[in-house]
Amino acid sequence: MADDESARDAYLAAKLEAARRWRDDRIAYADAKTEVIVRLMQRAES
């Protein structure tokens, strides 16, 4: 992800949105980020 600007941007956007939506729910926040990371890793592998 370090070399892929679009992946970094997607992760940052997801992280900020998750923080906004689930400010008081760390599990939901982490789950939302995990979904994005899995998608980005699958994209990188293909």
Q: CB-based contacts of 29: which residues, under 8 Å, 6+ apart?
A: 18, 19, 22, 23
Nearest to 10 by CA among 44, 42, 45, 40: 40
CB atoms closer than 10 angstroms to residue 6: 10
CB atoms closer than 10 angstroms to residue 42: 9
Cα 6 to chain centroid distance, Å, stands at 12
Say how far apart CA 30 and CA 2 lie, in whole Å.
Answer: 20
Per-residue pLDDT in tens (0 to 9) along the chain, 46 residues = 567 899 899 999 999 999 999 999 999 999 999 999 999 999 888 8
pLDDT on residue 2: 63
Query: What global pTM score does this model have?
Result: 0.73
